[in-house]
Every structure is written in C-alpha cells, then in structure tokens.
C-alpha cells in the first residue's frame, strides 16, 4: 500500500542541465532510482490545485506565514475518468511539511473537492484523511484553479528510505481545461533546461550530502510551483485566460 501520511523537511535547489547531470551522477554513489525511473526514464506527475475565487490559499502561502496549506488532486500521467488518483492535503508548519492523501477514483475526487460531500467509503480510501479533507473543505469555498504537470526523476537512499531526492523539469501549467483527463499540455513555467531539485528528509540530511552540496556550490532557494505559476499569471495578466483566447 502506498504511504498516505508524510512528515518531512524539504529543501529546494534550482539548476541548469549541466549542474543536474553533475550532481545526479554523484548521487548515484549513495542513492538508487525510484522504481518508476528504471533506465533513467522520466515519469510525469499531473496536478489540479484548488483555491478560492480570490486565490486565498496561494496568496497566503506567498506571504511566507508560519503555517500554510493547500489542496490538490494528483495523478501519474493522464488518467481515465475511473482511474485512481490521490486527493492530497498539504500543510507546512515552521518548515515541517505534512502531507496527507487518500486514493479516490478521479470522478470521486472531483465530486468530493467540488461539493465537500464525503464519498461512500471504499477499501482503497483512507477514512481519517477523508475526514480531515472534509473539515478543510468546510472552511473554504474552493474551485479548481490551475493544472500543473512536470517530468520527474527520483532517487532513494540505498541505506534508508528516510531520504528522497527528486528532479523536476518541463514544468507546464494552464488555467483553462482544468481537468486531468483533458491532456498533458500547458505553458512552460521555467526556461528550457532548468531543473528543480528537492531534498526530502524526515530528519537532518546526511553529512555526505551536505558536503556534496557545498562542494558543488549549490544553495537552497525558495520555489513553489503553484506559487510561481500564480505570480507569472498575475504578472502577465492572464488570470482570466480561456482556451479560446489561447487559440487566437
């Protein structure tokens, strides 16, 4: 069964393709690819982020509070209508990331996030997480706001599953056709050849990793995919963009 509750610290680093290749090859001394990345093949992750009409959640997140939260539906690739996806509630408290998720059918996830009505419990669902999300949905009037996808390579530490490092590239998004089954496409969020590395650890990172980051001159940065998409959208005045305007 997939892990449905996470508590960990996350550090982010931006880099170009040359820096990615350098650190990725070095990391293979200590880490091994995720089972979905055998032969160094990417897998794609697609998300729908929910927010209020006036973008309360992301605007609060960008103000860098001690506590922030977000809700999203996540799938791997482009799901069919009855495919299993994850409905995730992600919180960050004083730097500690807490993620709680439950499996749902895609249509069940849409209905739950859209109405707040808890679906009939099925064996693949996590009842406790459903109740927590139901409480969250009672606090906010949410709607699907943005589709956001990316290609990922992931590594696990050979000696411990407490450390995971992911590399995301080709980050794309759209604010029209905000449905996972509508297809994997959108506007680029970063320049071609840029990578986002995330170090995810339950405790402190190991000494060898700290030394490697220092040796390669890599320093933490603040980067939220949804946050940067929102800032880019506001900057270019495309918040009310529709499929029709894009096709002109």
- pLDDT tens string 168-191: 999 999 999 999 999 999 999 999
Model pLDDT for residues 127-165, shown as the tens digit of each residue: 999 999 999 999 999 999 999 999 999 999 987 778 999
For the chain, domains (ranges, CATH) are 6-247 (3.20.100.30)
Q: CA distances (Å), 31 to each of 43, 156, 237, in order? A: 18, 5, 43
| pLDDT of 50 strictly over 50 | yes
pLDDT of residue 243: 46
> Which pLDDT band holds residue 2 (cuts at 50, 70, 90)?
low
Per-residue pLDDT tens over the stretch 67-114: 999 999 999 999 998 899 999 999 999 889 999 999 999 999 999 999
How many angstroms from the chain centroid is the CA of residue 217? Answer: 26
For the CA atoms of 235, 239, 242, 245, the dihedral, rounded to the nearest 10 degrees, stands at -30
Average pLDDT, the chain: 91
Evaluate whether 209 touches 163 at the Cβ level (below 8 Å): yes
17: Cβ–Cβ under 8 A, 6 or more apart, which residues? 193, 195
Q: What is the pLDDT, as a whole number, of residue 47?
A: 98
Confidence band (pLDDT; 50, 70, 90) for 238? low
Which pTM was predicted?
0.90
């Amino acid at each position: 069964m997939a892990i449905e509750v996470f508590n960990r610290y996350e550090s982010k680093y931006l880099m170009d393709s040359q820096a990615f290749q350098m650190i990725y090859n070095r990391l293979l001394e200590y880490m091994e690819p995720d089972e979905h990345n055998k032969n160094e093949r990417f897998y794609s992750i697609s998300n729908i982020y929910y927010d209020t009409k006036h973008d309360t959640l992301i605007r609060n997140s960008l103000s860098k509070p001690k506590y922030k939260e977000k809700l999203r539906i996540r799938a791997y690739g482009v799901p069919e209508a009855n495919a299993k996806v994850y409905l995730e509630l992600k919180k960050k408290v004083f730097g500690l990331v807490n993620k709680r998720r439950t499996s749902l059918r895609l249509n069940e996830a849409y209905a739950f996030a859209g109405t707040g009505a808890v679906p009939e419990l099925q064996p693949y669902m996590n009842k406790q997480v459903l109740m927590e999300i139901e409480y969250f949905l009672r606090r906010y009037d949410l709607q699907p706001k943005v589709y956001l996808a990316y290609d990922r390579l992931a590594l696990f530490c050979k000696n411990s599953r407490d450390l995971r490092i992911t590399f995301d590239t080709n980050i794309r998004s759209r604010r029209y056709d905000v449905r996972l089954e509508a297809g994997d496409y959108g506007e680029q969020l970063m320049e071609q050849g840029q990578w986002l590395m995330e170090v995810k650890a339950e405790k402190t990172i190991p000494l060898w990793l700290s030394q490697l980051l220092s040796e390669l001159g890599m320093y933490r940065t603040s980067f939220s995919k949804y946050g940067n998409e929102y800032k880019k959208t506001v900057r270019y005045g495309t918040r009310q963009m529709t499929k029709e305007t894009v096709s002109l």
